[in-house]
């Protein structure tokens, strides 16, 4: 039977009700003419599908993948899990201060709108009361928990070096990102570089940026982890005395160590050498007998993160890639505690195995990161609705998961989605978009109507606003 006849039969069947007319219009939308589309809508009261279209097809999810990462993190770690960063003396060398990372992505983070310097202030205050002012100490930042492959090998070159593709390590600081400021008032030259915030010693830029008249930021920072050479390409708005773009900090562990050293010196503590565990870790890869480079001695202080439910709220509400990458590696390291085992690979393997044990069909899942940035990620719409139904009805952490999702038309990444419609505030969902991908998955709750849904569009030929509009029209027809 030809595909055209099958599609015609599908449309005849679909017209029987349950809002299927909106599905016909959606599938036939001109902006989706050449797209791969998948739809799954499930009634959470009965557990039965309301409508489906290629619901078991593996499609690129973009940031909707964060639903899987955050659900697994809650199920595995619990909503009250907190990261701990210990500061201690080295038992074998009492003049060496150890900062031992546990993978906390929130150190000096902007996300929680508190005092970003709190970790440095409280640590300096605690150490000032304990350490000897006449003695010189060194700082050794133990940032090796996840190893040093901080980015997915499947991320693209255009993303690497930018803030939204920052590496995830045992120690992170300032969201592992910095702002690069320009003066763009001279339209006859490249933008003038002013400074970075925070200041990063040794960071250099090959400036190939041009100026535009659109007011749109099309500037990109190219670079690889632990390299201090960066290339600037694209274009940024002209006519500004100050304009900034964001990049990733090349070596967050060293950045934290140097910043803490400055605070300790201001507190009257003598600090000499500052180093991280990276060189010792690399040596240990080929010489296992040299892997034990420190021994934890006297504990000086401990910094704890906000609880996991607040971290997950940030991940899903604001689509925070950096936090999501820490979560997938935290899961991986919990399942495989050897710091020389790839934490990302261990995390993605654990996710698949975990849900398989819950009798989920994970055959459509191909996971290469925790944030959804890798174009090679794939999962089906029905896998998402299965996860959503489970988290709503069966998970111990149902409320924390549900509350982490933005309300359509009101907040987070869905603030401008479904506004001024009857479902504004009645849909909570995660959105996802990278090149050629637009997806939404979440819940529609309106009185007795309780649906879990996933709408996934790949390789569309229309504009992104057209595709978003088509998805909005479809959801309004449910």
Domain-terminating residue out of 263, 283, 306: 306
Mean confidence (pLDDT) of the chain: 94
The number of domains in the chain is 2
Predicted confidence (pLDDT) at residue 140 exceeds the cutoff of 50:
yes
Task: Clarify whether residues 301 and 320 are in a common domain.
Answer: no
Domain-terminating residue out of 268, 285, 306: 306
Question: Which stretches within 233-376 are classed as H helix?
Answer: 252-266, 278-286, 308-318, 321-335, 343-357
Task: Clarify whether residues 237 and 117 are in a common domain.
Answer: yes
Task: Clarify whether residues 188 and 110 are in a common domain.
Answer: yes
Task: Clarify whether residues 298 and 357 are in a common domain.
Answer: no
Predicted confidence (pLDDT) at residue 198 exceeds the cutoff of 60:
yes
Q: Give pLDDT tens digits for 141-155.
A: 999 999 999 999 999
CA distance 273 to 24: 66
The reported pTM is 0.93
* Per-residue confidence (pLDDT) for residue 232, from 0 to 100: 97
User: Who contacts 336 (Cβ-Cβ below 8 Å, separation ≥6)?
Assistant: 343, 346
Q: Give pLDDT tens digits for 11-30.
A: 444 434 444 688 999 999 99
Determine what percent of the chain is predicted with pLDDT higher than 90: 91
Predicted confidence (pLDDT) at residue 451 exceeds the cutoff of 90:
yes
Q: Give pLDDT tens digits for 296-352.
A: 999 999 999 999 999 999 999 999 999 999 999 999 999 999 999 999 999 999 999
Task: Clarify whether residues 340 and 416 are in a common domain.
Answer: yes
Strand order in the sheet with 296-304: 270-276, 136-142, 93-100, 84-90, 296-304
Determine what percent of the chain is predicted with pLDDT higher than 70: 96
CA angle 76, 82, 86 (to 5 degrees): 125
CA distance 239 to 283: 50
* Per-residue confidence (pLDDT) for residue 113, from 0 to 100: 80
Q: How confident is the model at residue 439 (pLDDT cuts 50, 70, 90)?
A: very high
Predicted confidence (pLDDT) at residue 5 exceeds the cutoff of 90:
no
Task: Clarify whether residues 285 and 319 are in a common domain.
Answer: no
Q: What secondary structure letter does DSSP report for 112?
A: T
Task: Clarify whether residues 177 and 132 are in a common domain.
Answer: yes
Please compute Rg for the chain using Cα positions.
24
Task: Clarify whether residues 11 and 116 are in a common domain.
Answer: no
Q: Give pLDDT tens digits for 381-395.
A: 999 999 999 999 999
Task: Clarify whether residues 59 and 171 are in a common domain.
Answer: no
What are the residues facing 164 on neighbouring strands?
none
- CATH number for the domain that contains residue 403: 3.40.710.10
Q: Give pLDDT tens digits for 101-117.
A: 999 999 999 998 888 99
| Torsion angle defined by CA atoms of residues 307, 311, 313 and 314, in that order, rounded to the nearest 10 degrees | 150
Q: Which helix (H) or strand (E) segment is 27 a member of?
A: helix 20-27
On the 0-12 / 13-18 / 19+ scale of CB atoms within 10 A, 357 is: exposed
Q: Give pLDDT tens digits for 250-271.
A: 999 999 999 999 999 999 999 9
CA distance 329 to 394: 25
Task: Clarify whether residues 174 and 260 are in a common domain.
Answer: yes
CA distance 62 to 428: 17
| Residue-range definition of the domain harbouring residue 179 | 82-306
Residue carrying the six token digits 């309004």: 476
Predicted confidence (pLDDT) at residue 290 exceeds the cutoff of 90:
no
Question: Measured over all CA atoms, what is the biggest interatomic distance in the chain, rounded to whole angstroms?
Answer: 87
User: Who contacts 284 (Cβ-Cβ below 8 Å, separation ≥6)?
Assistant: 290, 291, 293, 340
Task: Clarify whether residues 173 and 270 are in a common domain.
Answer: yes
Residue carrying the six token digits 């400055």: 262
Between β-strands 84-90 and 296-304, what pairing exists: parallel, antiparallel or unpaired?
antiparallel
2 alpha carbon, distance to own chain's centre: 43
Task: Clarify whether residues 137 and 105 are in a common domain.
Answer: yes
* Per-residue confidence (pLDDT) for residue 14, from 0 to 100: 44
Query: For 78-135, where are the E strands, in sequence order?
Result: 84-90, 93-100
């Amino acid at each position: 039977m030809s595909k055209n006849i099958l599609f015609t039969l599908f449309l005849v069947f679909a017209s029987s009700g349950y809002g299927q007319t909106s599905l016909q219009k959606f599938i036939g939308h001109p902006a989706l003419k050449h797209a791969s589309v998948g739809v799954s809508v499930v009634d959470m009261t009965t557990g039965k599908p309301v409508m489906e279209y290629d619901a078991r097809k593996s499609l690129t999810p973009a940031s909707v993948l964060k639903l899987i990462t955050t659900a697994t993190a809650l199920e595995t770690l619990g909503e009250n899990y907190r990261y701990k960063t210990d500061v201690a003396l080295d038992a074998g060398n009492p003049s060496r201060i150890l900062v031992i990372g546990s993978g906390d992505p929130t150190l000096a983070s902007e996300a929680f709108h508190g005092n970003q310097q709190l970790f440095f202030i409280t640590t300096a205050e605690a150490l000032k009361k304990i350490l000897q002012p006449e003695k010189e100490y060194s700082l050794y930042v133990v940032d090796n928990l996840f190893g040093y492959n901080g980015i997915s090998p499947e991320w693209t070159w255009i993303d690497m070096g930018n803030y939204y593709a920052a590496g995830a390590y045992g120690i992170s600081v300032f969201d592992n990102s910095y702002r690069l400021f320009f003066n763009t008032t001279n339209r006859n030259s490249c933008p003038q570089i002013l400074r970075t915030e925070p200041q990063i010693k040794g960071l250099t830029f090959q400036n190939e940026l041009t100026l535009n008249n659109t007011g749109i930021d099309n500037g990109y920072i190219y670079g690889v982890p632990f390299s201090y050479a960066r290339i600037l390409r694209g274009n940024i708005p002209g006519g500004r005395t100050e304009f900034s773009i964001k990049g990733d900090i090349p070596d967050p562990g060293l950045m934290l160590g140097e910043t803490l050293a400055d605070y300790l010196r201001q507190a009257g503590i003598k600090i000499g050498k500052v180093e991280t565990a990276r060189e010792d870790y690399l040596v240990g890869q080929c010489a296992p007998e040299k892997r034990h480079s420190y021994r934890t001695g006297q504990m000086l202080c401990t910094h704890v993160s906000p609880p996991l439910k607040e971290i997950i709220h940030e991940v899903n509400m604001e689509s925070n890639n950096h936090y999501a990458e820490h979560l997938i590696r935290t899961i991986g390291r919990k399942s495989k505690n050897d710091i020389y085992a790839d934490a990302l690979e261990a995390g993605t393997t654990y996710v698949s195995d975990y849900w398989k044990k819950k009798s989920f069909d994970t055959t459509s899942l191909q996971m290469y990161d925790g944030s959804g940035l890798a174009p090679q990620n794939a999962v089906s719409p029905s896998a998402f609705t299965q996860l959503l139904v489970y988290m709503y009805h069966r998970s111990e952490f149902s409320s924390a998961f549900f509350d982490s999702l933005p309300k359509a038309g009101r907040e987070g990444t869905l603030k401008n989605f479904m506004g001024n419609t009857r479902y504004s505030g009645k849909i909570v969902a995660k959105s996802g978009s990278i090149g050629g991908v637009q997806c939404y998955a979440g819940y529609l709750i309106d009185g007795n109507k309780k649906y879990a849904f996933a709408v996934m569009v790949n390789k569309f030929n229309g504009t992104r606003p057209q595709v978003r509009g088509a998805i909005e029209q479809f959801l309004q027809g449910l």
